[in-house]
Structure 1
């Protein structure tokens, strides 16, 4: 189907799309939105933090916008849940790209929103990804880059965000990792997300659940492995897991 209503956020683009096709609920366009992008090969730390960030933002009433690509995009959509995410495609809506994300995209079509400015039968090409990225950035109230290399497609998204005057946020990384986000911080073009709950509270439209930071919770916020947590806090870990205070994803602990 085609979107006939004018989308105010897309006025920030160099050229407003002539046509927009969609599957799903266009009501999501009226919600607060945050764009999340990043590498297709995220580190375990980035995987955990991207998922937690997306999940907590969606619980606070924020819709997550991304491009349905492998890696960070996938984690952003999965963390938010299909009903709270917008996937902007580099191809027509008759295709599901990448094919490895077919099930994810189908779920978003049913419960969330899939958008494309390309004809429905258009197949993705190298240049359509760049065009797709501009819409991803334009729709969000801010842009989060969770991990990126210099010269990557994520950095093209950053260029769009700077041109549009969007606020840019990044995850803090260790030296030698995610060189592009380190450069953004060094150049004063981005702000580091030092504490997820406090960050989410800036954008959320509902109350974000917070946990008192006991020494155990503070330790869990460092994303330790499950084995490390069991060794250090053998009694706390099982109680917190049963109580839904923490989750284990990819072998690492995240605070819910």
Structure 2
């Protein structure tokens, strides 16, 4: 069953029209973690497949959440490699699992990670909803990684959003004649090449496991602490737990539900 979140996320203030409401399934607390957006072609070559998997997997091991759009190819690889540290932004309503070829993956993400949509639950994808989805994917990440793309592609539209939001853009270096989109970005000085995955991951790694921190917060709440004390120690976790209906505030104290 989906849930709603009515809150203007700080990251989404960079959008042309900031969103104030989402539908979601899964672990909403991932929104408070450090995030990197990873996108690319639906038809990656083997070199790109290997790189995307390694990069996404190592980001997850470093407790950094990978944000992508759930599409075939690079998106799906990024999600699979980074579970449970991954967020999928859907181009349609939360009641649809699109594309159908990724249905099992999306179902898994709903239970182990996070799937989000700004559209009404039964809304079907349209050409423009993909563009809107791409903008959210870019906005949530601290930077944008494009592992392979053509010059005229949805990934290049994501690059446009990243440039407008002044996000750092990274690409995988490809041979001449391959991935013309990313090679163009390098040629024009609009992106940096990732030559060392470990060095890149170290730059965007989270110092602590957000999922472990969240678990620690719930354990902390078992002692029914004062609300003001909990607010000082776990401000973000307190906010998300209230949204999720996991806690209640009674007589100035935090209680688990």
TM-score (norm 1): 0.79
Q: Secondary structure at the residue paired with 1:2?
A: strand
- The alpha carbon displacement at 1:18 in A equals 4.4
Structure 1 position 31 matched with structure 2 position 44: no
Distance 2:161 2:171 in 1: 16
Residue in 2 that maps onto 1:93? 94
SS at match of 2:43: coil
Map residues 38-77 of structure 1 onto 2, 5 A cutoff: 38-77=40-79
Residue 196 of structure 2 corresponds to residue 201 of structure 1: no
Q: Give 1:19 shift.
A: 2.4
Measured after TM superposition, the shift of residue 125 of structure 1 is 1.2
Query: What are the within-5 Å matches in structure 2 for residues 114-193 of structure 1?
Result: 114-193=115-194
For residues 165 and 17 of structure 1, the distance between their equivalents in structure 2, rounded to whole angstroms, comes to: 19
Q: Offset at 1:111? A: 1.1
Q: TM-score, normalised by structure 2?
A: 0.79
- Superposed displacement of residue 5, structure 1: 2.8
- Asked whether the 8 Å contact 2:131–2:154 carries over to 1, the reply is yes
Q: Would you identify which runs of 4 or more consecutive aligned residues in structure 1 move more than 4 Å?
A: none
Name structure 2 gaps, 5 residues minimum. 209-257
CA distance, structure 2, for counterparts of residue 122 and residue 93 of structure 1: 8
Structure 2 Cα separation of the partners of residues 191 and 160 of structure 1: 16
CA positional deviation for 1:188: 0.6
Structure 2 CA distance, aligned partners of 1:109 and 1:69?
15
Separation in 1, partners of 2:128, 2:25: 23
Report the CA distance between 1:151 and its aligned residue: 1.0
Distance 1:18 1:3 in 2: 8
Matched position secondary structure for 1:3: strand
Using the alignment, how far apart are the partners of 2:168 and 2:78 within structure 1?
Answer: 18
2:9–2:20 contact (8 Å) kept in structure 1: no
State the Cα RMSD in Å.
1.0
> 2:232 maps to which residue?
none
Q: Is the 8 A contact 2:90 2:115 kept in 1?
A: yes
Q: Deviations over 1:24-73 (max 9, x none)?
A: 11100010000000000000000000000000000001000000000000
